[in-house]
């Protein structure tokens, strides 16, 4: 009977801990951290979808390591597009951070396979309903092209950066053009009616 009481105490303790995790929202954080830990076990993506639709990689001027002010180099690619153009996640993963900073303005950070972090900056606005911890795919809209942060006074563009545990890497060699969806026309079937 002693083992039954011990088992019951363990069950009650786990139930209380579970209840507290749900009430405090900590269970969502724990689940997010579990997803992130799993991403670290995967190999990093070797190909990334272009973050803007209907734009070819050939149309991007290489801005990697271009001088930016005194003693600073550009750690990403600027992808120019009309203000309000939807920005899609370049990879599958989870939204890691949403917020503002002086350089990037309105930004979204996505963590993907291998623990790589993808940085989307100068957003005009965020996509409605996105939140930290959301799972994203290459079809998820994160926000819209703009000129926030230190991009004020420049043509609208997305600053796209890729960060590893050792620092920034050039995203341009990893980018691939998005394949336009194929639209199939339905074949009409003729039905003959008897009069």
Enter the tokens of residue 97: 């951070």
On whether both 111 and 134 belong to a single domain, the answer is yes
Question: Looking at the 3D structure of the chain, how many domains does it have?
Answer: 2
48-97 tens-digit pLDDT = 999 999 888 888 888 876 767 777 777 888 999 999 999 999 999 999 99
Tell me the pTM: 0.78
Range of the domain at 138: 48-176
132-166 tens-digit pLDDT = 999 999 999 999 999 999 889 899 999 999 999 89
Residue with tokens 């003693």, as numbered in its chain: 71
User: In the chain, which residue ranges form alpha helices assigned H by DSSP?
Assistant: 2-24, 26-40
| Residue-level pLDDT at 159 | 93
Q: Is residue 194 part of a domain?
A: no
On whether both 33 and 58 belong to a single domain, the answer is no
H or E stretch at 159: strand 157-164
On whether both 79 and 145 belong to a single domain, the answer is yes
């Amino acid at each position: 009977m002693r083992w039954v009481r011990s088992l019951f105490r363990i069950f009650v303790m786990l139930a209380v801990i579970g209840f507290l995790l749900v009430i405090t929202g900590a269970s969502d954080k724990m689940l997010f951290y579990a997803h992130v830990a799993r991403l670290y076990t995967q190999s990093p993506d070797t190909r990334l979808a272009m973050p803007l639709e209907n734009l070819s990689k050939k149309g991007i001027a290489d801005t990697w390591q271009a001088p930016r002010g005194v003693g600073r180099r550009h750690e990403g690619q600027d992808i120019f597009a009309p203000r309000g153009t939807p920005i899609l996640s370049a990879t599958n993963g989870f939204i890691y951070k949403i917020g503002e900073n002086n350089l990037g303005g309105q930004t979204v950070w996505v963590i993907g396979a291998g623990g790589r972090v993808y940085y989307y900056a100068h957003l005009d606005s965020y996509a409605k309903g996105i939140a930290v911890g959301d799972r994203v795919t290459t079809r998820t809209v994160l926000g819209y092209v703009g000129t926030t942060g230190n991009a004020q006074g420049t043509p609208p563009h997305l600053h796209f950066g890729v960060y590893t545990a050792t620092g920034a890497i050039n995203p341009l060699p990893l980018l691939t053009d998005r394949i336009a969806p194929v639209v199939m026309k339905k074949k009409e079937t003729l039905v003959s009616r008897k009069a």
